[in-house]
Structure 1
Amino acid sequence: MRNSKDRQIKLIFYITDILMLCVSGLIAVGIRFSFNWKEFNLPWYIFALVFIVVSTVISMYFNKLYDLKYRSWFAQVPKIINSFIYSILIFFLFSFYVRKVSYSRLALGYFSISAVILLLLGRYISIYIIKKLYQKGIGVRRLLCVGLNERSLSVLDYLSKHEEFGYFIAGYIDEENKRVKRNYPYLGRTKHYKQIIYDKRIDTVIISSGDSYVIKDIINYCEENYIQAYMIPDILDLTSNPVDIGQISTIPLVKFKEGALTPMQAKLKRLFDLCITIPAFILISPIFILIMLLIKITTKGSIFFVQERYGMNGELIRIIKFRTMIENAEEVLEELIKNDPKIREEYNTYRKLKNDPRITPIGKILRKTSLDELPQLINIIRGDLSIVGPRPMLKDEMDRYGKYGKVVLKIKPGLTGLWQVSGRNKLPFSERVRLDIYYINNWSFWLDIIIMLKTIPVLLKKEGAY
C-alpha cells in the first residue's frame, strides 16, 4: 500500500519532467524551423527527442531526483542541470557514430536552453503540487518514533513544522510515558511494537533508543513488512564532526571527516570571493560614500562600528559595519537587560532586540535594507570573512555554542549564510547554530551559489531584518 502511494506521488515528477522536455523540443523546432516539417527530418528529430528524454530521466533517477526524501528546489538545481548535461553528452556520443543523419546544432542549442529552464520550472511546480497534496493528507507517511530523547524530539519537532517532508507523527513508544510538552501521543511500551505498527498503520519508523535485541527485532520486522526504518545512532552524540556512512564487507561504518574544506577547496573559495567582491565593491562605491555622508550629517559619532568577533580557527577579527546605534549603545543595553526581564529574555534568545531603542533613525533604514553590512566587503577583501559562511561568533557566545563551537570555527565566517536565508533574526539561536553546522558538513560551490541567489529575495523582502 505504501509503495503504491509513493509511486503515485513520484509519478508527478516523471510526468512533469517528460512533459517539459517535449515542450522544449517543440520550442526548439518552432524557433529554428517555424514548424515547417519539410525543412527537417521529422522521424529523426522525434527519435532524438525520445533518446534525450529517456537518457535524462534515467540520469535523474540515478541522481536520486525521484526519491521522496524532501529536498528544496534550490538543492535540486545542480543535480537537474548535471543530469541533463549527461544526457546531452550521451546524445553527442551517439550522434558521432551515426554520421548519415545531419541535424541542426542551432536547434539542439535552443532545445538545451529551453529544456534546462523548463525542467527547473517543472520541478518547482512539482514540489508545490506535492506540498499541497501532503497538506491535504494525500500520500503522507505515518511515522512512529521508538524511544523518546533529546535527539528524537529534535527530529520530530522539525518534521512536524515542515509539512513538505510528508510525515504524520502517529506517536512514540518507550518503556515509560515521558509526558513531554508536545502533542506526540504515547502509544505504549516498546515490546508491543508489532501490534502498534499494525493498529496505527505505520509505514515509517525512527529508532532513537532501546534495548539492542528489541531494536534488532524492530529493524528485521520493518524489512519483512516493507516499512521504512531509520536509526539515530548514539555515537553521533559523541562528536559534532561531519560524517560519512561507509561499509567494509557487510559491516556498516561511520567515518569521521578530517575537516570541512581541503586546502585546495579553501583556496578556490577565497579566489571565488575576490572575483565577486572586488568588482561589487567598485560598483557600489557611490552608495558607500553617500551612506557615509548621511551618517556624518544626521548623527554624532563615528561613521563605522567595529566589533571584535571570532574568525577562522578562533582568531579575533574586527568586523566593520556602518554605525546604526547611538554612541553609548553597550552601556544602554546593559541597563535595559538589567531592568527589563522581557528584553533580557528576547536578547538571550535572539541576540538582538526587535524594537531596539538604541538604533538611530538612519540606522533603522540601514538595518532594514541590510546596507549597514556593506563595509564587510572590506573584511572579505582582507580575508577575515567569506561571502558565504557561518555567522561570525561574538566573543561572549562561545559557551552557548557548546560542543559545536570548534566546528563553526573550522572555516571562515560569512557575510551571508544559511541562517540568513532561512529566517534571519526570527530564528532562535539554537536553530542558527544547527544551520551553520549543516552548511559546514555539506559545503560545496553549488551550495554557496544557491545561498547567494536566495540572499537577494530575502534582502528585497526585508524579512527578519531589524
Structure 2
Amino acid sequence: MMWYRRWSIALDIGALILAFALALYIRFNNLSMLSRSWYITTFIILLTLDFLILYFKGLYDKKHKPLFNQIGIVIDGLVYSVFIYLLISYFTKMTYFSRLTLIYIFIIGLTLQITFKTILSYLQKRRYKKGLDLSNALVIGDYTKIPKELIDKLKTREYGINIVGYLSNDINGNGLNRLGSIKDFSEVVDKYNVEMIFIVSKVENVEEVINIGLDKYISIYSINNSINLPNYPMEIEIIDDMPILKLKDVFISGFEGRMKRLLDFTLSLIALIILSPLFVVISLLIKLTSPGPVFFKHKRLGLNGKLIEIYKFRTMVVNAQEILDKLLSENPELKKEYEATFKLKNDPRITKIGKFLRKTSLDELPQLFNVLKGELSLVGPRPIVLKEINKYGEYGKYLLRVPPGITGLWQISGRNDVDYEERVEMDMQYISNWNLWLDINILFKTIPAVLKRDGAY
C-alpha cells in the first residue's frame, strides 16, 4: 500500500497547488498576486489544515478505503479547512484575501482531488489484478458454504485480497487450494504471511484459531455465524455491498487513535508547564527528608508488551527491595497479601513525604513525561509489571494491544475498594468499549476522584 499512500499524498498536495494557482488566475488574470504575503500565508494555512484533517481522518492509512469513503473524507477536509481559515482571518482582521478566490479554490480543489482519487483508485485496482499490493487471506472451514458471488469477487482480487487457500479437517473441495487441517493454522499463516482470515463454518478449536490470529494481529472475519458472537466484540464491514461480521480490532488506531495521541501530547505538555513549580517544590521536599534520588523508575509492560520505564516521584527508602524481600520471607501473611495485589497496605518502606504523595496521587505526576514520549496515555489500562500478565489470563492478549494509562476506569472507581479481578474486568471494559469521549469523561472524573482521595494507593 505504500504506492497508493505515496501517490495519494502527492496528488492531494498537487491538487491544492493547482487549485490555488487557477483560482488566482481566474479571479485576477494575473499570477503576480502570489507576491502578496497574505496570499502565500493563506495557501500555507489551507494546505496544512487540509493535509492534517485528511491524515487524522485516516485517508493515508495503510488499509485501502473504498472510493466513496475517500471522497467523503476529501469533502470534509476542504469544508473544515475553509471554515477554520475563515475563523482565523476573522479573528486576525485579515480582509485582504478575496472571498471569491476562496470559493474558486474550494470548487477547483474539490474537483481535482476527487478526479485524482478516482484515477488513483482505478490504477490501484489494476495493480491488484496484476498481483501487486495484495493482502493474503486464508479461509477456515467449509468454503463451499460461502455465497458464490462473494467468493468470486474475492478471487478477482478487486478488493486487494489474495486468497492463498483454505484449511479444513474434513472438506476437500474444488476451486481453492487446501493447505492442511485446522491444526496447521499457525504454521500456514507464517508461511504465507496471512493478514486476514475468513472463518466460514463451525470448526473445532475456533477459540485457539482466534487467539493465534489476535496474537499475530490478523483481521478475523466471520461468515455463516461461525463464531460465537457473545464471546467476542464484533463490527460490520462491507465487501461488495455485502455486510460481513469482523472481529473488532482491539487496539486504538485510525482517526480517533491519532486524536487520542494529539490529546495526550497537548494536555501533558500544558500540564507539565503549569505544574513545573510544583515539581520543584516536591523535588526539594524529597531531597530534604530522605537520602536518594528524586525520581523512581519502574519497569512495566507497554504497548505490544514492550518493557518501558515509568517515572514517579520516589516515595520509598532507597533500599526498598531489600526490605521487601526480608519482610516477605519473615511474614507469610504479608507475602500472601503482596502476591495477591502486588501491594502492601501498611508498607513500612514508604517515607513520610511519600505517604502524602501517594494519598494525593502526586507521586504519579512525572508519568506525564511518559505520556509526552508516547509510552503511556493519559487514559488507559493500568500499567502492570511483567509477572502480573499471568493474572489477566486470556485477556492478556487484549491488554497489550493498547497503551497503558495514568488514569482509567479503575482509578475513578476507587482503587482502595476494587479487588484485582474487578480491576482486570474494568481494564477489559475500557479496551472493548474505547472511544475518545470515554477518555474525556474519565479525565474529568479523575480530578474529583483524586481530590476525594478515592484514587489513591
Length-normalised TM-score, structure 1:
0.46
Length-normalised TM-score, structure 2:
0.47
